Chains A and B, each alone.
Chain A
């Protein structure tokens, strides 16, 4: 089971974990995932108990994401640093410990990425180029430079992208471009997202969604 602390150790840089937080308890987290925060919908209604999410509905996959990353996102929804009319009312009653517990639950989930229909091979090749080599002439650095080998995520600042739903990746990149999302550290994601064309966003989302989870979760 990967809890926040272990995730930090694996990343090899404790700085990712600078946020003061209690260690999450996945078992307690499971209960919250099933029951919700008391006023909103339970997490599993949209993200599933196993964190698989739902591409068609725009709900991200949470399974296997770094606990520190998940924790920060929920805290940001609660404070409004990350805005979502759906998420805000569903986490606003959770305290720090409960948020850590939910994060620990989803971080420990290993739901397989369901097979997707084959995508256009040129689109996939374009997406692979962006993820692994970038487009330096437009100062678009490769996803892997920060999100790590196989875009499997690095610490709490750079979440796993491999296996994330294409719709969600597109929606978030567009959110950075439009200014709707701005809770990335040091505007590192905004810098890149703002330079991506719609075609590049389509390509990289298509590619990343079809990457397996190879990590030893």
Chain B
């Protein structure tokens, strides 16, 4: 019988945790809001025991799950950095407060601000490959895309379609506005104390036997300048509720903001939407980049003003294209 986590108010526990004898580390996650839909995504054990699932469908879902966990098997095909889907969507994409992926299956097709048109589930997945994985998405309608879409939809089992008031969805619980006192230097200190052990002093992560153990946080192995995680608020909320691993909520809100700013003030592969000028690209996609450091000056350099696409031999995958019904 699994012990389900009881979310607790961060504010009430922060003070009390410190004085206690350190014989445990509380899981400090935000409370769900009144009226929110809270989903309990099924596990792979549920899938294996679910006799209503056609064996062929089960194979497809398991394939999608395998792609999600070990995305590096598609290195230099769909993925040109060191990341796996599960690095940002932890707990196999099931976990609330860790960008659970199933809402994409119940809320799409819908209008998406990032690309200003109505996106399907496949298109949303293609977005992850294009930006977070610095890659080239599986073809729409392909076996691999079907498998990933099937995995998302199965995780959404029993969730209401079109319900958007979802507890623990996305990475924005700290809000979108970076506090004025947010500090790069403060972030550097947090990074040294709590992050560098795994992610490396240069953010390079750790790879062993051609597998990513700890994901790189900047540089060629990490997400590109167009990834949602480059937004400081996205990274701050992810860090607050997921890092250090196993200790969600252990950093203060300000520590999370500081280290998010520090990480996202480092260079990474080019935004696939690059026009040739980072300041211009920032302006053109300001609805997104107003939350990133891209195209701003840091230490005398304009972040993102370069032609480096990492190990990806092109800038923009064909899958990224506008759509209009006019």
Contact = CB atoms under 8 A, between A and B. Distances in A.
B213 A137 contact: no
Contacts of B204: 12-13
A154 B206 contact: yes
A194 B25 contact: yes
B23 A194 contact: yes
Secondary structure dominating the interface of B: loop
B8 interface: no
A181 to B, nearest CB: 11
B198 interface: yes
Given A149-B208, A186-B194, A191-B25, A15 B244 contact: no
B246 A137 contact: no
A24 interface: no
Contact of A157 (B3, B197, B211, B245): B197
Secondary structure dominating the interface of A: helix
A138 B5 contact: yes
B22 A16 contact: no
B4 interface: yes
Contact of B23 (A15, A177, A185): A177
A190 B24 contact: yes
B24 A16 contact: no
B94 interface: yes
B307 to A, nearest CB: 27
B245 A188 contact: yes
Interface string B1-34: 0111100000000000000011111010000000
Interface of A: 10-16, 133-139, 141, 145-146, 148-149, 152, 154-155, 157, 177-179, 182, 185-188, 190-192, 194-195
Interface of B: 2-5, 21-25, 27, 43-44, 90-92, 94-95, 193-194, 196-198, 200-201, 204-209, 211, 213-214, 244-248
